[in-house]
Amino acid sequence: MSRPLVAILTGAGISTDSGIPDYRGPQGLWTRHPGYEKLVTIGYYMTDPEVRRRSWQMRRDTYALDPRPNAAHQAVADLDASGAVALRVITQNTDGLHQRAGLPARKVLELHGTSRSVACTGCGARTAAGDAIARVEAGEPDPACLECGGILKTATVMFGESLDAALLSEAAAVARAADVFFAVGTSLQVYPAAGLVALAADGGARLVIVNAEPTPYDDVADEVVREPIGAALPRLLRELAPA
């Protein structure tokens, strides 16, 4: 008997208990600091050195937090380890906390890239984010590529950039095939990631939304949970793999 396929779409809300602020919530970065959105918008980033300097400062501050997986990340990894289901995580986050919790990297689709690496926008060379952050700490406000002198950015998908087509296609296939689909800690306002919910619902998946604020898909969900994610998600996932 085949195991049910459980897909979990995660957004910024799953990582707030790890000390990483979300974007659009009442205390989110964009809510409190509307100008911050420029720091992760490719057009501004590539053309304005001051935006790049501020963006690197933001990255440095986030990196210094050294966020750790929380109970929700651990619950996802524990569900996978139980072997009770076939699990895939589709994440809008770039923090790598699912992997740090123990979930195999091959089971995590990082739609928006990773903040753990930096890439040159010129030659494409990649290095560890920690190396670039160390240069910022040492006094380089806008570190350039050491290979070609080009503009460096984190290996994330900024606003104005396209998602990786192959990765998005894989995520869509997972959503269509899912028996159960969770949307956790995401406003479901950013496309094409939010559209995966519709694909899952159209494919007959049981849809569960766990988010503090209403989403555009609440009306089509089988269950909407407003409890704190760190408490709600472990409980919901334990129901899929009872001891």
Determine whether 112 is an active site residue.
yes
Provide the angle, in degrees to the nearest 10, between the axes of the packed helices 71-82 and 229-238. Answer: 10
Ordered strands of the 152-156 beta sheet: 126-128, 113-120, 152-156
Report H helices in the chain: 29-32, 42-47, 49-65, 71-82, 97-100, 129-137, 165-177, 195-202, 229-238
Residue 114: closest CA among 134, 131, 102, 128 = 128
**Distance (Å, whole) CA 184 – CA 85:** 18
Marked catalytic residue, from 33, 73, 98, 112: 112
Catalytic residue ranges: 112
